[in-house]
Amino acid sequence: MIQRIAIIGLGTMGPGMAARLARGDLQVTAYDVAPAAIERARAMLGTAEGVLDALGIAPPPAGVGTVRFTDDLGEAVSGADLIIENVPENIVVKADVYRAIDGLIASDTIVASDTSGIPITQLQAHISHPERMVGMHWSNPPHIIPMIEVIAGEKTAPQTVATIRDLIRSIGLLPVVVKKDVPGFVENRVLYALLREAVDLVERGVIEPEDLDTCVSWGIGYKIAVVGPMALLDMAGLDIYKSVSSFLNADLSNRDDVAPMVLEKTGASKLGIKSGEGMFSYTPEQTKALQADRARKLVAVRRILEGRE
Ligand SMILES: NC(=O)C1=CN([C@@H]2O[C@H](COP(=O)(O)OP(=O)(O)OC[C@H]3O[C@@H](n4cnc5c(N)ncnc54)[C@H](O)[C@@H]3O)[C@@H](O)[C@H]2O)C=CC1
Ligand SMILES: Cc1ncc(C(=O)O)c(C(=O)O)c1O
């Protein structure tokens, strides 16, 4: 049974994940190699806890769910039943972490990666006892989005998948087991098909970025939260899909490299909210207000979709 969890990497994803797991009565130890990230994560934890209160996800009545921060890797993983690796999406960085923890943990400690899409088969080549490694892909913001993909690599034991699936269910979240270890798994394959087309349309001057967001959020996103893509095909009619896809698919973006607009912005350190500018610009005050407004709306929508309002 999983009771003690170590989270390694406290950037965008780690703090919300820690807050949500603690609400599931789990004991979380949170570690990052950068002291500044630990300090930021302490503040983010408080914000995430406020959002969880608004979601009605209360702390367990007589529970022991806690989050403890540490700057010592050995202390973080000591006695953990599950490690969630949450460091940057780079196989070299992730492999370094697996090597660093290998001698510090028991051979049956489960090691999960929150990778956005590196196949688990590639990751588990860098750890001993690869049968205990599994993909556990959360979606951002992790304390609000209830779905988590669970992915087995070639060497993952079925019991490892079952343990993680059951853990996710036991704390009231929604596991989706992906049946093949394909790059990007399912969520990001679908998301990146959409993002490739969206970036292409803006880059070709077909639409302004603000208008692209209005079109997709209100035309597609709002609807798809209620009617998933497979059900949407039935709602529209497969005959319509057949007719439109017969001429449209061939015209959709099929570029297999990163779009020049994205390379230009990342080259100029325009990374989005984290750097103050990306597709749009953000002052620190705007970022704070935007994040609060988004959390409030996501909470309200989730409560309605779950039939709680
Ligand atoms: N940002 C997103 O929307 C999502 C990201 N992911 C995935 O989650 C993982 C983490 O992503 P983010 O939180 O966005 O990254 P991030 O870049 O915001 O944070 C990564 C953190 O890892 C720390 N770190 C780097 N090397 C480390 C080491 N050796 N030991 C301990 N900590 C170390 C960094 O100091 C940083 O605080 C990635 O694999 C990413 O693809 C998954 C779902 C959504
Ligand atoms: C742009 C982008 N990339 C990856 C992810 C992920 O799920 O890994 C997300 C997300 O929303 O969670 C994302 O927005």
Average pLDDT of adjacent 10-residue blocks, the chain of 309 residues: 97 97 96 97 95 91 88 98 98 98 96 98 98 98 97 98 98 97 98 98 98 98 96 98 98 98 98 96 96 94 90
Q: How high is the pLDDT of residue 269?
A: 98
Closest by CA to 148, choosing from 8, 55, 20, 50, is 20
Would the ipTM clear 0.90, i.e. be above it?
yes
Q: Is the CB of 12 under 6 A from ligand 2?
A: no
Q: How high is the pLDDT of residue 93?
A: 98
Indicate the fold that domain 185-254 takes in CATH: N-(1-d-carboxylethyl)-l-norvaline Dehydrogenase; domain 2 (1.10.1040)
Q: How high is the pLDDT of residue 309?
A: 78
Pocket test for ligand 2, best of 188, 189, 217 (most atoms within 8 A of CB): 188
User: Position 85: which residue type?
Assistant: E
Pocket test for ligand 1, best of 12, 71, 75, 149 (most atoms within 8 A of CB): 12
Give the ligand with the smallest distance to the CA of 138: 1
Q: Is the CB of 139 under 6 A from ligand 2?
A: yes
Helices (H), the chain: 14-23, 35-55, 73-77, 91-102, 120-123, 158-170, 187-203, 209-216, 222-224, 229-236, 238-248, 260-267, 284-305
Q: How high is the pLDDT of residue 227?
A: 97
Q: How high is the pLDDT of residue 61?
A: 79
Which one is the CATH code of 4-178: 3.40.50.11610, 3.30.70.920, 3.40.50.720, 3.30.530.20? 3.40.50.720
Q: If you take atom 37 of ligand 1, which residue's CA is the nearest one?
A: 11
Domain boundaries, the chain: 4-178, 185-254, 269-308
Q: Is the CB of 188 under 6 A from ligand 1?
A: no
